[in-house]
A and B are shown apart, each in its own frame.
Chain A
Amino acid sequence: MKTPSRQPNETLRQHGAGLDPVSSYVIFRTTPCDVAVASKEIARFGNLGDSSTNRLVQLSAILGVRARCDEENRVLHLTASPTLWLMVPREMVVVGVPDDALLAVPTVFRHLGYEALLIEDDQPRALVVDLVQLQRRAERYLAQSPRDATVQLDNFTDSV
């Protein structure tokens, strides 16, 4: 994957341009709210196709959201969990997010699988997914619904 853009704070400070440190996030267009994952946590993207896996789970099923466009036909796997594939909405956008635009959510919402509120133009834009919980839930989901059939994947890309 192209190097996701968490730029070293020091570099920015040294250049003294008054810029905030910026991280890259992928925002998936879902209802009732958009959800976001840090780009650096995504190892690869692909499409449903010729390769196969029986370890595919829908992001929406785990988080209780629904793709806005009703097309959930892209797949990705996370850097920390290379054998687990997540089916994600086709509609997504990559944004640069300054650190002060990420607000930690109260504990009550962390238990729902989110770790931060992403702000854009002073308004809530998306909920940032807690990936540790996401993987845990995905594994639980797979354990509860074991399947013999494999799902076809292909067209992997290294960038969003």
Chain B
Amino acid sequence: MPFELDGTWLAIEARFVREVVGTLPQIVVPNATPQLPALCAWRGRAIPVLDLSQILGIPSEERRSKPRLLVIETGGSVVAIPVSQARAVEVVPKERLRPAHVISNQYCPTEIHQGSFAAGVVDVERIVDDMLDHSETVGENPIAAAQ
């Protein structure tokens, strides 16, 4: 599923996407990391809001409004990712996957190419795994810990 985040097109494997919703009310959690700054309620669960712009290192001056939320489930964890817009799911043959160069980030190792369109494929399993595990220590920055 392709989606736009602060002017950059990315994609996520559709099998992880539970729902695309409009913005949900969020509550900012004191002392939380910038990567997991808030919580929202979704289908009777309190789920973390994951700031993908922070994780991918998108400069703050490029940040835009994010009126959509991707609700993602992986490894039993559910997170919400605010995005600028999302497109319909597309089937992408493996030969269209290439090593990433649009975004150079450990969490975005490959890209999809389709004509002139390119989108970085987000490794959401790794992100959720790292963010929810490394953040176990209060105040520890999971990005810094991963580097």
- Min CB gap A27→B, angstroms: 12
Interface pair B29/A127, CB less than 8 Å apart: yes
Interface pair A117/B132, CB less than 8 Å apart: no
A112–B31 Cα gap in the complex (Å)?
7
Interface pair A111/B30, CB less than 8 Å apart: no
Is chain B's binding surface mostly helix, strand, loop or mixed?
mixed
Partner of A106, one of B28, B41, B47: B47
A91–B35 Cα gap in the complex (Å)?
31
A113–B48 Cα gap in the complex (Å)?
15
A114–B136 Cα gap in the complex (Å)?
13
Interface pair A105/B39, CB less than 8 Å apart: yes
- Min CB gap B36→A, angstroms: 6
Q: How many residues of B contact A (CB 8 A)?
A: 24
A104–B39 Cα gap in the complex (Å)?
11
Partner of A103, one of B30, B31, B44: B44
Asked if A48 is an interface residue, CB under 8 A from chain B, the answer is no
Interface pair A114/B41, CB less than 8 Å apart: no
Closest to B133 in A: A108
Asked if B135 is an interface residue, CB under 8 A from chain A, the answer is yes
Asked if B138 is an interface residue, CB under 8 A from chain A, the answer is yes
Residues of B within 8 A of A (CB): 25-32, 36, 39-41, 44-48, 77, 131-132, 135-138
Residues of A within 8 A of B (CB): 32-33, 63-65, 100, 103-109, 111-114, 116-117, 119, 122-127
